[in-house]
């Protein structure tokens, strides 16, 4: 008789949980997965996927403008928000269904309801009998953090609600300067909504390379997003005509929707983690080692709930590494170095490796290669849009330690650049790569002159 009902119990059927559950089940383990919402997690249901569909929808307005420069006549294009939402929801339902089928095909059992640990081996799912499991994986993800003490916060939405607004607002105020705030500001702006982005700091996208941050702000402004820096909400008031955002410093702004994107918090409350003795950090994230094992030896955690790098592919790799280690006799830890990411702003950002400031801090002497250029397509159409490309090189080893791009297709470009950087490419090897012409990406492999800040001139 088996000691436990299940070999593995996974709490949360998002990207990380599903990957781990599937692989464990395929190895022959008896696996149960609990999900309190829809299968697919943040990425599929209320994150990356619906967001990217909204990015696609919103990019057309700019494409129509560019098309005019190429001789097209486009009369009175209109956007049907309810129709888009219905199509988007159909696609999300389709993808969620694929996740469910993948779990079933692998032989994992899915149970719907909120799961809670009773002790380190016992789980209770609301409305179901308690079960025991030899190993438990916490993959409950994160959720938007809202400033609960702010006056009038009940009038504001988070990204969760932004996917389901019954009407497209005419005016929106988005607070925050991270991925979500920037992406949604560009989405709503592209859909014709008067958009204010309000951020407490002197520049958006903290942690990114400073040239990238400034460049994105300028380009967003060029496309119509009103970026207001160094201020934040003091209160939100509901009036007869909309919502008034009151900011520190006395300014105010009226809109139809106020959205907060001020970061996300790990979903660890009410999970019974204390009962099991699982250690959390000061932000409520599960503390794990490089094999994603928590402070309790039979409990692991992957994805946003551990607040390491909060990206879908990272959660998937952490879940995969866990399953390989624990169920396939292949000890694997995911390497969190050189993980590329993209901000789907308009224009988008692709980035991998260190910013100039971080590289200077780490290596002391670094070489910078940077160019700003007008992409052929938009320049032909008479637009002033600029693309920025930047390489950060460790002066001593000549390894390329950072690559940053703002411009069309930068998210696609950076995936390829990440391979080279992960392999430890040197600038000389990078330069030996022949260009693909005519492309924007060719500029990246033809950066020959070291960049010096204005006033110092260009070095040989
Ligand atoms: P981020 O942590 O990226 O940004 C949070 C922003 O809110 C920062 O600009 C921060 O300012 C600001 N902020 C935090 N607290 C306050 C406060 N009390 N008052 C005012 N401003 C505040 O969070 P997001 O919500 O944008 O995204 C969460 C995570 O989701 C990201 O880190 C990313 O890992 C992931 N994500 C990835 C995407 C992608 O890959 N394209 C897309 C969307 C999300 P400051 O900089 O001053 O701290």
Domain containing 285 — which CATH number? 3.50.50.60
Q: What is the pLDDT of residue 379?
A: 97
User: Looking at ligand 1, which atom is closest to the CA of residue 47?
Assistant: 43
Q: Is 178 in the pocket of ligand 1 (CB under 6 A)?
A: yes
If asked whether residues 103 and 34 sit together in one domain, one would say yes
Nearest to 388 by CA among 182, 207, 213, 226: 213
If asked whether residues 112 and 220 sit together in one domain, one would say no
If asked whether residues 36 and 121 sit together in one domain, one would say yes
Q: What is the pLDDT of residue 79?
A: 97
The number of folded domains in the chain is: 3
Q: What is the pLDDT of residue 460?
A: 38
Stretches where the chain sits below pLDDT 70 are 455-460
Q: Is 263 in the pocket of ligand 1 (CB under 6 A)?
A: yes
User: Token pair 């999970």 is at which residue?
Assistant: 271
Q: What is the pLDDT of residue 457?
A: 54
Q: Give the model confidence (pLDDT) of 227-253 as tens digits.
A: 999 999 999 999 999 999 999 989 999
Last residue of a domain, one of 327, 355, 377: 327
In angstroms, rounded to a whole number, what is the distance separating the alpha carbons of residues 244 and 230? Answer: 18
User: Looking at ligand 1, which atom is closest to the CA of residue 182?
Assistant: 26
β-bridge pairing 226-229 and 233-239: unpaired
If asked whether residues 304 and 397 sit together in one domain, one would say no
Last residue of a domain, one of 305, 327, 349: 327
How far does residue 440's CA lie from ligand 1's centre (Å)? 29
| Residue ID of nearest Cα to ligand 1 atom 36 | 179
If asked whether residues 396 and 298 sit together in one domain, one would say no
In angstroms, rounded to a whole number, what is the distance separating the alpha carbons of residues 403 and 400? Answer: 8
If asked whether residues 12 and 71 sit together in one domain, one would say yes
Cis previous bond, 377, omega within 30: no
β-bridge pairing 242-247 and 252-255: antiparallel
Q: Which residues are 172's β-sheet partners?
A: 195, 257
- Here the tokens at position 413 are 């470009």
| Residue ID of nearest Cα to ligand 1 atom 38 | 179
Give the domain extent around 243. Answer: 153-262
| Residue ID of nearest Cα to ligand 1 atom 23 | 263
- Here the tokens at position 19 are 């990957």
Q: What is the pLDDT of residue 453?
A: 76
| Residue ID of nearest Cα to ligand 1 atom 17 | 262
Is residue 97 within 8 A of residue 110, CB to CB? The reply is no
In angstroms, rounded to a whole number, what is the distance separating the alpha carbons of residues 368 and 8? Answer: 49
If asked whether residues 371 and 425 sit together in one domain, one would say yes
Q: What is the pLDDT of residue 459?
A: 45
Radius of gyration from C-alpha coordinates of the chain? 24
Q: Where are the beta strands (DSSP E) in 80-229?
A: 109-112, 115-119, 122-125, 131-138, 142-144, 171-175, 194-199, 226-229
- Here the tokens at position 263 are 């970061």
If asked whether residues 257 and 306 sit together in one domain, one would say no
In angstroms, rounded to a whole number, what is the distance separating the alpha carbons of residues 269 and 319? Answer: 21
Q: What is the pLDDT of residue 455?
A: 67
* Residue to substitute in 174, 180, 310, 418 for testing ligand 1 pocket (most ligand atoms within 8 angstroms of CB): 180
In angstroms, rounded to a whole number, what is the distance separating the alpha carbons of residues 329 and 331? Answer: 6
Catalytic site residues?
A: 437
* Within a domain: 305: yes
* Within a domain: 334: no
Q: Is 187 in the pocket of ligand 1 (CB under 6 A)?
A: no
If asked whether residues 253 and 205 sit together in one domain, one would say yes
Q: What is the pLDDT of residue 70?
A: 98
Last residue of a domain, one of 327, 349, 365: 327
Count other C-beta atoms under 10 Å from residue 385's C-beta.
20
Nearest to 243 by CA among 261, 263, 228, 259: 259
Q: What is the pLDDT of residue 299?
A: 98
Q: Collapse the DSSP code of 400 into the 3-class scheme (helix H, G, I; strand E, B; otherwise coil) and give the result.
A: strand
How far does residue 200's CA lie from ligand 1's centre (Å)? 12
If asked whether residues 114 and 15 sit together in one domain, one would say yes
If asked whether residues 10 and 138 sit together in one domain, one would say yes
**Which backbone phi and psi does 357 adopt, to 5 degrees?**
-65, -45
């Amino acid at each position: 008789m088996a000691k436990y009902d299940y070999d593995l119990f996974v709490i949360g059927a998002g990207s990380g949980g599903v990957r781990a559950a599937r692989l464990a089940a395929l190895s022959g383990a008896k696996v149960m997965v609990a999900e309190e919402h829809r299968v697919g997690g943040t990425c599929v249901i209320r994150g990356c996927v619906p967001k990217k569909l909204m990015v696609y929808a919103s990019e057309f307005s700019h494409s129509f403008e560019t098309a005019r420069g190429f001789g097209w006549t486009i009369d009175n294009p209109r956007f049907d928000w309810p129709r888009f939402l219905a199509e988007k929801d159909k696609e999300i339902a389709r993808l969620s269904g694929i996740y469910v089928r993948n779990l079933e095909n692998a032989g994992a059992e899915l149970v719907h309801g909120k799961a809670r640990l009773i002790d380190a081996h016992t789980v209770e799912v609301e409305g179901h009998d308690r079960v025991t499991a030899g190993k438990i994986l916490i993959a409950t993800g994160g959720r938007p953090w809202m400033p609960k003490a702010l006056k009038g916060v009940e009038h504001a939405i988070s990204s969760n609600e932004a996917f389901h607004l019954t009407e497209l607002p005419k005016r929106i105020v988005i607070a925050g300067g991270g991925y979500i705030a920037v992406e949604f500001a560009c989405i709503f702006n592209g859909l014709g909504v008067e958009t204010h982005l309000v951020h407490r700091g002197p520049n958006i996208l903290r942690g990114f390379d400073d040239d990238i941050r400034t460049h994105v702000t300028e380009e967003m402004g060029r496309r119509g997003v009103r970026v207001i820096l160094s201020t934040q909400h003091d209160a939100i008031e509901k009036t007869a005509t909309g919502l008034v955002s009151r900011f520190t410093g006395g300014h105010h702004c009226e809109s139809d929707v106020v959205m907060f994107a001020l970061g996300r918090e790990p979903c660890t409350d009410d999970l019974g983690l204390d009962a099991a003795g699982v250690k959390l950090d000061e932000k409520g994230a599960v503390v794990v080692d490089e094999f994603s094992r928590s402070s309790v030896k039979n409990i692991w955690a992957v994805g946003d709930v551990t607040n390491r790098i909060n990206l879908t592919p990272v959660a998937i790799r952490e879940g995969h590494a866990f399953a390989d280690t624990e169920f396939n006799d292949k000890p694997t830890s995911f390497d969190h170095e050189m993980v590329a990411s993209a901000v789907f702003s308009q224009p988008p950002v692709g980035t991998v490796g260190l910013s100039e400031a971080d590289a200077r801090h780490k290596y002391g002497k670094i070489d910078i290669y940077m160019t700003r250029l007008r992409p052929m397509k938009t320049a032909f159409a008479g637009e002033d849009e600029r693309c920025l490309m930047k390489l950060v090189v460790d002066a001593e080893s000549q390894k390329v330690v950072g690559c940053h791009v703002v411009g069309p297709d930068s998210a696609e470009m950076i995936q390829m650049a990440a391979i080279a950087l992960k392999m430890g490419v040197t600038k000389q090897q990078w330069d030996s790569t022949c260009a693909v012409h005519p492309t924007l990406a060719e500029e990246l492999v033809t950066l020959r002159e070291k960049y010096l800040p204005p006033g110092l001139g260009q070095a040989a």
